[in-house]
Amino acid sequence: DTAVSQTPKYLVTQMGNDKSIKCEQNLGHDTMYWYKQDSKKFLKIMFSYNNKELIINETVPNRFSPKSPDKAHLNLHINSLELGDSAVYFCASSLGQGAQGGELFFGEGSRLTVL
Amino acid sequence: SQQGEEDPQALSIQEGENATMNCSYKTSINNLQWYRQNSGRGLVHLILIRSNEREKHSGRLRVTLDTSKKSSSLLITASRAADTASYFCATDNYGQNFVFGPGTRLSVLP
């Protein structure tokens, strides 16, 4: 069974479109994250949710809106896509928040290409 | 700026050799983690070392932590072609979210 699964794996879309990425974890973790990995492999946190509540929002444009319907799911909706949004987006989860939360479990990534 | 910085950016070695990667960070931490990322895949946790620990082993992996120098190293002994991947260190940002360095790309040649 996949621990952290995200869909779709690939998205190719035009500038200005809206797209969503879904993430689910079956580990019973309380905390979930969205990370963005750019073409140079830099991995930067975007959002963190703990038990459905937003904990971290790292100055991400308003076009990005996360939504956590329950603690096992964290989705990411992106409006008005721009060329610079092209990246690989990773969902991750951990037992708890911050340093005491232990290791992060990552999904396989969703590669977004904006044309 | 990134909390952790790995060094070197890229490393190429022969199978059977040891590979050493370093990570430097800027602020106080509670713990430091190392992750591996195979091409086109997600990150996989390798090892966590707490701030009060100096060394930790897991199979062919050895991690050291020097909090006075704010640095850590990851040693992979007797490397194999399957170890080819990018390796990242992650440090907790004042106990909050984990911040990743830019990674070291390791190539193990058969």
A56, A105, A108: residue with CB nearest B41: A108
| Predicted confidence (pLDDT) per residue in A9-22, tens digit | 999 999 999 999 99
Subunit contact A41:B102, Cβ cutoff 8 A:
yes
Residues of A whose CB is below 8 A from B45: 103-105
Range A69-79 average pLDDT: 96
For chain A, first and last CA: distance in Å? 34
| Predicted confidence (pLDDT) per residue in B50-71, tens digit | 999 999 999 999 999 999 999 9
Judged against a pLDDT cut of 50, whether residue B82 lies above it is answered with yes
Sign of CA dihedral B98, A101, A50, A24: positive
| Predicted confidence (pLDDT) per residue in B94-110, tens digit | 666 788 988 999 999 99
Place of tokens 């930790």: B56
Closest residue in A to B85 (Cα) is A41
Closest residue in A to B94 (Cα) is A99
Subunit contact B42:A45, Cβ cutoff 8 A:
no
Subunit contact A40:B99, Cβ cutoff 8 A:
no
Residues of B whose CB is below 8 A from A48: 97
Q: Alpha-carbon distance B52 to B50, whole Å? A: 5
Q: Alpha-carbon distance B59 to A52, whole Å? A: 37
Q: Alpha-carbon distance A5 to A28, whole Å? A: 13
Nearest CA-CA distance, residue B60 and chain A, Å: 19
E strand or H helix at A50: strand A43-50
Instruction: Give residues 59 to 98 of A whose Cβ lies within 8 Å of B.
Output: 90, 92, 97-98
